[in-house]
Structure 1
Amino acid sequence: MILHPAILALLAGSFMASAMLLYSSWFGIQIIRSWDLRSGSELQLGLEKRTYLISTIMSYAFVFQLVSLFLFIYTADSLCTLFVGAMCAAGTLNVNVYGYPAFILKLGNFILAGLWLILNYADNRAHDYPLIRKKYLLLLFITPFLVAETFLQTLYFLGLEAEVITSCCGSLFSKEGRDSLPLLYALPLVPMKLLFYSAMAGTGISGFRFYSRGKGAHMFSAFSLVTFMVSAWFLVHVIVLYIYELPTHHCPFCIFKKEYAYIGYLFYMTLFAGVISGLGVGLLRPFVKIGSMRSFVPEIQKRLALIALASYATFLFLAVYTMSVSALRM
């Protein structure tokens, strides 16, 4: 294991978050089984006293989860000089078999954590906690994935040894690597651009329709998810080529480096903000008519829709600007 401040911070934070999730899950099982606001029992009073504290603790744990994704990428990138062949985070993650599985789990847990925070925020706004069972069911669903992430991340960091020979991003994400990443190069450039702009247009139209009329929440959420996947694909397949000004270099990690003005962080932040906010609109849709939530849930949905639209618009602007000013022409 390499003793690096960021590694120690990630490990400590992940263990604390996992411990808090496990405790909160045990508490959540009690909530799911026994929560009844009409009851004045000692058990119910105890649950009511602890639920706000547990929700607050979990909010901090999930905020750390959001931050940890980018800290993980930064750490992997900063360690690349220690490994022969590594040029960025791509090579560092490939040092052992646990790097990429841990990273993929972090991506999924990032979205799940964001959705839980939205559900928790809406539930805490109501005086009678109408979503308390649902948010703890979601917590029970998230917990195994976050614990698995902590386990894989720990194995990954423990298995890091300096001077290990690894693959560089040029071999991992070049066109010669098509056999290992077949879907990445499945479409020609023009259809890929058409698909990207169509997804953005669909999200924009459905988003403005929901924001102005309050209709089509689930449609907007579906478009947001599709646009997230298409945009991530488009980023790696097309946009990075214009950033690197190399027609064969598809690495999704070099854009986090200083020489590219750390533009990768902005691209990925806008993507994740867009998909989480967009999915949050549909997530809250079934609860619009609940009595204690009727007055504020539509407003939360509108704010989320606006954040999603602004995030995807920013991503679109960055993509168009990058392709316009690049010296590469395809």
Structure 2
Amino acid sequence: MILNALSITMIFIGALSALLAIWGGISSLILYRKWKRTATPEEKTSLEDRSYLVLLIMVIVLLIRLINWPLFYVTLQSFISDIEGAMCIFGVTQVKVGLTRFLEFLKPTNFFLIGGWLMLHVLDRATKTSPLMRKKLLLLSIISLFVLIDSMGDIFLMIGIAPESLVSCCTTVTDILNRPTRTTPESIFGPEYAQSLQVLFFITHLALMGFIGVTLKFRIFRRLILGLLSLFAVLNAFVFLLSQIEVFAPRMMHLPFHHCLYCLWQYVPDSIVMFLLFILGTFSVGWGFTTELFGRQGEAADLLPGYLRKIYWFAFFFLSAFLIMLIIHLLVD
């Protein structure tokens, strides 16, 4: 176990989040089951008071878990000097490969689920009758389970990473000729795949922004359209990941044969902001769909079009800001 301020913070947040997730998940599930069974006005008032208390505490927990994702990588970065053979975060992830890979998949999943729930919560708070309360409580009980798993994973990982562990460098995985990020596009575009992949990314990204713009201009907030838009955002994210690894990261690092994203964040720190903008823009597209999916009920349905418009404006802004940063980097480099 490597003890420093960041690892202790991760363990503390993990333990606190796990305990509150258990309490919040059970409480929200009980409240969900009782919400429409209340008989007297006194019972209803008591139930509402308990619900608002649970929601208040869990909102704080969920906001902390949102911050936990970048904190996770900052903590791994702080371990580099204590891991023999580690030159970047990749080396640290090799100490506990299975658990780390699981958490690297779970954390963005949790980020999306928590963000989507918070969007729904804000919409419901804007109403006078809270028509989405039962849905929020049910979804909160499910998300609490994900938070619990994530929190326990953080604790086990922080405890399990031993100092002076011996690992291999990122180049032994990210820079080999038969890496999947190279062979996949090469099988489609041929030996000159890098240029084609770059062009494809700009096409899909501009198309996504164009579709969002059309949706905003004509207020097309139908569920099918928003669902298809979300699927296209997922496709764009996949092309983004491939193009970052194979094309943009090497250029931005001035290392044409190095393809490690962890090194990119280390050598070009503002690329972290660029990634954050892309993630927020892409997730906002998905959050718009989930908000429409769960938020069209009662009084909330009347507020939904204006609320969705704000979400998709955020998506358009974040994706545009990311694109501007990327183009500036490419022109400067």
Match of 1:109 in 2: 110
Q: Distance in 2 between matches of 1:184 and 1:43?
A: 62
Over residues 26-65 of structure 1, what are the superposed CA-to-partner deviations in whole Å (9 max), with x where a residue is unaligned? 1222232221287426543322002122222222111111
Cα distance change, pair 71–177 in 1 and its aligned pair in 2 (3 A): farther
Cα distance change, pair 247–275 in 1 and its aligned pair in 2 (3 A): same
* Partner of residue 212 from structure 1, selected from 210, 217, 223: 217
Match of 1:233 in 2: 242
Match of 1:201 in 2: 206
* Partner of residue 247 from structure 1, selected from 249, 252, 256: 256
Amino acid at match of 1:148: I
Q: Distance in 1 between matches of 2:60 and 2:233?
A: 26
* Partner of residue 315 from structure 1, selected from 305, 313, 322: 322
Match of 1:186 in 2: 184
Aligned to 1:62, the other structure's residue is in SS state helix
Q: Which moved more, 1:220-229 or 1:12-21?
A: 220-229
Offset of residue 183 of structure 1? 4.3
Amino acid at match of 1:306: W
- Alignment partner of 1:163 is 2:164: yes
Q: TM-score, normalised by structure 2?
A: 0.89
Amino acid at match of 2:140: L
Q: Distance in 2 between matches of 1:64 and 1:288?
A: 24
Aligned to 1:36, the other structure's residue is in SS state coil
Cα distance change, pair 276–78 in 1 and its aligned pair in 2 (3 A): same
Give the percent of matched residue pairs that are identical in Structure 1 and Structure 2.
23
Q: Distance in 1 between matches of 2:295 and 2:18?
A: 32
RMSD: 2.1
Offset of residue 14 of structure 1? 2.0
Report if aligned partners of 1:255, 1:263 keep a CA contact under 8 Å in 2.
no
Offset of residue 245 of structure 1? 1.4
Report if aligned partners of 1:55, 1:120 keep a CA contact under 8 Å in 2.
no
Offset of residue 11 of structure 1? 1.5
Cα distance change, pair 26–38 in 1 and its aligned pair in 2 (3 A): closer
Report if aligned partners of 2:28, 2:54 keep a CA contact under 8 Å in 1.
no
Offset of residue 212 of structure 1? 1.4
Offset of residue 289 of structure 1? 5.2
Offset of residue 18 of structure 1? 2.3
Report if aligned partners of 2:284, 2:312 keep a CA contact under 8 Å in 1.
yes
Match of 1:141 in 2: 142
- Alignment partner of 1:174 is 2:172: no
Taking the TM superposition and a 5 Å limit, the aligned residue runs for 1:87-106 are 87-97=87-97, 98-106=99-107
Offset of residue 301 of structure 1? 1.0
Q: Distance in 2 between matches of 1:286 and 1:99?
A: 32
Q: Distance in 2 between matches of 1:27 and 1:286?
A: 24
Show structure 2 runs of 5+ residues with no match: 186-192
Cα distance change, pair 150–10 in 1 and its aligned pair in 2 (3 A): same
Cα distance change, pair 289–76 in 1 and its aligned pair in 2 (3 A): closer
Q: Which moved more, 1:241-250 or 1:94-103?
A: 94-103
Q: Distance in 1 between matches of 2:178 and 2:139?
A: 38
Offset of residue 281 of structure 1? 1.3
Report if aligned partners of 2:127, 2:300 keep a CA contact under 8 Å in 1.
yes
Over residues 112-159 of structure 1, what are the superposed CA-to-partner deviations in whole Å (9 max), with x where a residue is unaligned? 111111111112222222122222232233233222222222221112
Taking the TM superposition and a 5 Å limit, the aligned residue runs for 1:47-62 are 47-62=47-62
Report if aligned partners of 2:174, 2:258 keep a CA contact under 8 Å in 1.
yes
Q: Distance in 2 between matches of 1:37 and 1:231?
A: 48
Match of 1:78 in 2: 78
Cα distance change, pair 166–132 in 1 and its aligned pair in 2 (3 A): same
Cα distance change, pair 175–316 in 1 and its aligned pair in 2 (3 A): farther
Report if aligned partners of 1:225, 1:278 keep a CA contact under 8 Å in 2.
no
Cα distance change, pair 72–34 in 1 and its aligned pair in 2 (3 A): same
Match of 2:312 in 1: 305
Report if aligned partners of 2:201, 2:239 keep a CA contact under 8 Å in 1.
yes
Match of 1:31 in 2: 31
Q: Which moved more, 1:138-147 or 1:274-283?
A: 138-147
Q: Matched residue pairs, number?
A: 321
Amino acid at match of 1:155: F
Report if aligned partners of 1:85, 1:91 keep a CA contact under 8 Å in 2.
yes
Report if aligned partners of 1:253, 1:264 keep a CA contact under 8 Å in 2.
no
Aligned to 1:296, the other structure's residue is in SS state helix
Q: Which moved more, 1:40-49 or 1:277-286?
A: 40-49
Match of 1:128 in 2: 129
